[in-house]
Amino acid sequence: MADADEAAIHLPSSNDSGMQIETDLSDETQDFRFLNFLSDNSQSSLPKRGEKDFEPNPTLHQADILSASRQAMHNALSYPRLHNPKNVIIGVYAPDGPTPPASAKTTEPAESKKPDTDATATADAEPEFSKKPAGTGMMGVSADACVYVSNPKGQFFRTMGQADRWNRVWLLPEEALYLIERGSLDIRWPVWMTGPAGEVGNEEVGIPMSLQAAYSCFIGRDGLTLERYSVYTGLKRLGYTMLRAASWDEHGDGMEGDSTESEGSQVQKPQGPGLAGIFGRFLEWLSDSSSTGSTATGPLAGVGIHRSYNDIYRRLAIVPWYDPVNPQTPRTPTTPPFRIAFSVYKPSTPFRKTAPPTPDFRIAVVDARRQTTIPTVSQLGALLESTPLDPPQGPKMEKQLYMRLRHGYRNVILAVFDQGVVSYLRVADAAFGKEKIYGDKGAPRGPKNGGYRPKPKR
């Protein structure tokens, strides 16, 4: 038994019952001494956790155990992460964006440097729509790419990166940071910045880039913020495929949907002049049960001929409602942060980098520290109008009213980042006016003759 004079330990006294009741067991210091076995190469599996003393006592023995446990935790966190030489993937950081390899520059023929008058004339006569879209580099990859991999291999490159004509895969900042963070990519500095430190194929590379340097280089580059990267890496770990949306750049107009007019708009033919035209308008007014022209001076239901209750219900709908299929106002540009940032695909969706399908979700990232108020109706309207029309379709949608209203004709997911915690909110543009409750003829409910009938026992 330890002596009483031995104890000069800064631990709570065992006699303080109130302190022991308020202390949560999950908040107490864990025994991490089992992590010392991770440095042993003979261990093929993770060891089991050590035993924990739930009763603190003022002895040097327990203080030494706690100190050794903390030291084991620090040693495990400081242990270097090594790459298997057979599966190592090396990427090179290109701070200036996509550029041709050095071998392609040196082997360029001399006649290509001479000005070609025919090519110049052809380029002058080339129409504007044949030029590459904005955001695409001269080698067919995104201008925001900053890391290239000469020997791509593995399952990650099926949905990440863009290949150029020299079979190099260029990665965007969030893609490169995600791979180096999980230990699947070894990024090297360019030779002109640090000097040669090795070779990858026939190309010299610099020293390895640390994770801290990767965060410094990639976060804040080409619109990549810490909030956007947190959403990207969180969904990427869950198996989703993430692509940058067309409205990624905050300096653009943020339009993603097509600007074609609705095909459902109909133009009424004017009536002919004379008595026949006036009489035709009068007959059309009497037979048209959806007309509300007579409600201003007569009864609310009108003075026309009502052949069913549905005609009366349509006459009572005097409040105008918004139709997302046929918008009456022109589109308004979106404003950050209410702008689509990512196009998300489910893990079960067949995906090809050369021909991406229609995304399953569209996400806008919002920082709760900067955007302290809820979005206004105009901001949400502009955000929803920037997405293409996606009406509710399918056998389940046709039968269930709630599913149609929940899906809406346009929908966006807001990823709210609040100090490291991401919350997802779904916003849909539902058309309540298009759902005619009075016209829904469902199956009769209850028994035929009324009353309550108990179910027969089996």
Give 222-247 pLDDT, tens digit per residue: 999 999 999 999 999 999 999 999 99
Mean pLDDT of 373-402: 90
Q: Give the confidence band of 2 by pLDDT, cuts at 50, 70, 90.
A: very low
Identify each DSSP E strand in 206-306 by its residue range.
241-244
Q: Give the confidence band of 158 by pLDDT, cuts at 50, 70, 90.
A: very high
* CATH code of the domain containing 148: 3.40.1170.20
Q: Give the confidence band of 17 by pLDDT, cuts at 50, 70, 90.
A: very low
pLDDT at 383 over 80: yes
Are 212 and 339 members of one domain? no
Q: Of 222, 243, 277, which residue sits at a domain end?
A: 222
Q: Give the confidence band of 325 by pLDDT, cuts at 50, 70, 90.
A: confident
Instruction: Tell me the whole-structure pTM to 2 decimals.
Output: 0.68
Q: Give the confidence band of 307 by pLDDT, cuts at 50, 70, 90.
A: confident
Mean pLDDT of 414-438: 90
- Is there a domain that residue 156 lies in? yes
Identify each DSSP E strand in 383-443 by its residue range.
411-418, 421-428
Are 363 and 230 members of one domain? yes
Are 234 and 189 members of one domain? no
- Is there a domain that residue 333 lies in? yes
- Is there a domain that residue 407 lies in? yes
- Is there a domain that residue 230 lies in? yes
Mean pLDDT of 370-388: 92
- Is there a domain that residue 361 lies in? yes
Q: Give the confidence band of 25 by pLDDT, cuts at 50, 70, 90.
A: very low
Contact 94, 190 (CB under 8 A): yes
- Is there a domain that residue 263 lies in? no
Contact 304, 288 (CB under 8 A): yes
Mean pLDDT of 66-85: 80
pLDDT cut 90: percent of the chain above it: 34
Tally of domains in the chain: 2
- Which residue range is the domain that position 187 belongs to? 85-100+142-222
For tokens 């770990």, the residue is 237
pLDDT one-digit tens code per residue, 277-288? 655 666 665 555
Are 241 and 213 members of one domain? no
- Is there a domain that residue 268 lies in? no
Q: Which of 414, 367, 406 has the alpha carbon at shortest distance from 387? A: 414
Buried/exposed 370-384: b ≥16 CB within 10 Å, e otherwise? eeeeebeeebbbbbb
Are 348 and 420 members of one domain? yes
Are 216 and 330 members of one domain? no
Are 239 and 96 members of one domain? no
Find the range with the poorest average confidence among 90-104, 188-202, 392-406. 188-202
Q: Give the confidence band of 39 by pLDDT, cuts at 50, 70, 90.
A: low
* Residue of higher predicted confidence among 26 and 174: 174
**Helix H or strand E segment including 186:** strand 186-188
Mean pLDDT of 421-429: 95
Compute how many other C-beta atoms are within 10 angstroms of the C-beta atom of residue 385: 22
User: In this structure, what DSSP letter does residue 130 have?
Assistant: G
For tokens 């009769």, the residue is 444
* Residue of higher predicted confidence among 393 and 259: 393
Q: Of 205, 222, 239, which residue sits at a domain end?
A: 222
- Is there a domain that residue 175 lies in? yes
Mean pLDDT of 368-395: 92
Q: Give the confidence band of 38 by pLDDT, cuts at 50, 70, 90.
A: low
User: How far is residue 364's CA from residue 138's CA, in Å, rounded to a whole number?
Assistant: 29
Check residue 442 and give its pLDDT. Answer: 55
Mean pLDDT of 333-359: 93
Are 235 and 360 members of one domain? yes
Q: Give the confidence band of 217 by pLDDT, cuts at 50, 70, 90.
A: very high
Q: Give the mean pLDDT of the chain.
A: 75
Contact 387, 337 (CB under 8 A): no
* Residue of higher predicted confidence among 142 and 274: 142
Are 231 and 330 members of one domain? yes
Are 205 and 350 members of one domain? no
pLDDT one-digit tens code per residue, 84-121? 777 789 999 999 999 888 777 655 554 444 444 444 43
Are 161 and 241 members of one domain? no
Mean pLDDT of 121-139: 43
3-state secondary structure of 194: helix
* CATH code of the domain containing 396: 3.40.1350.10
Contact 74, 64 (CB under 8 A): no
Are 215 and 147 members of one domain? yes
